[in-house]
Structure 1
């Protein structure tokens, strides 16, 4: 607890949800999900510092990484505050009962307004890029996603994506493979656009059964108020969030 009469410090990142078991925050684009050999800032380390500061905790603080977001991707990210919660949430991820909804702004849209993409992705770690294959190839992993085209504005399309697998660069590579690279994503073939910034991919919601109460929990983060997101309306974002998620599919 903070000292008497002293307000608790503000969190280092926007908090979307927090209880004794879970912490959900907005990950900034460009930050690592967890530490690597570069020593650059990462979410797990930052959140440990945040919890120590806000709750005046001595010693080590537990923060469990449940799922990852690629470095250029921002938005909703869920962490465990206890090892039990981490174990149960990790099982939800493995059993594909962890719902992940992304919004992407792409150059163009797939021919079908909604559908499922299934490819096999092979990562070239040296170049930090994945190649997309229609059939299994050595060292490639199956990648599956469902998509819905929400709106079109000029050459851009707002696309809602639900991941059924969690592969590195999955959405970026699979949409590019069907002719719809994400805005600003030059690595996967996007044309140059004036004022380039973070790639137009955002983790807009995560949903999972709470590890203790078992009640379904949906955590939402709105896309940033910046190009190219501002081309679309609040109603478009609401329509994406209204799409049936994993909870809806399991209850039918």
Structure 2
């Protein structure tokens, strides 16, 4: 058995002029020649993505799609028909969004946030814009300080609603945003707070000490790459700090404070200086 719309690790059954067949417990699934790695032999195992080709046959590829079944991703419409739209998801065959699964009429060239799913009737991988009902905070699978995957869902007056692990929704508040983001952006974050009625606040980046440690290591690396000195300090503008370090001023101050206590840096009137070990 193979999982359609997912990555599978399969063994090579036999080779043919136009590729190799991989073991699916039946007659085998073709991996076309253009995707066969050099030196691949019978009984070798290979990680491949499985989907249906234009003739409805299961096919394997070593190409990586922009999402697998269950993922919520932003994709661009390349063809629009009366039956639906085809979106570019990084494979030779575009993914189909039936007209019944569209919020509004899709336009060629526009980008849309969709969820990839496996159609129960056809067994094929497809996409839908109508997945809001699948997002629920009734039974949470996360807790405070958990690291999570985030997808930006929509803009609000206080920031952005984000999708958490393709299951829940939370809010990324305006004061926690330090770069330009748009709907469909994917990023790592963590659960900051779970409030009444399972309302979730999230933050981009790593949680707790690990987050500070990671940013401290980055500051040390940048210091070493710039002859041990950087012209940034607690009076620098937040925008300047973010543009150079890719972190908020608050995170910068926490990280430099940690490095100062460890006697790895010193503060000068104009910046920070790396101390010799």
TM-score (structure 2 length as normaliser): 0.23
Structure of higher RCO (CA pairs closer than 8 Å, 6+ residues apart): 1
Task: Specify which structure has the higher proportion of strand.
Answer: 2
> Which of 1 and 2 has greater Rg?
2
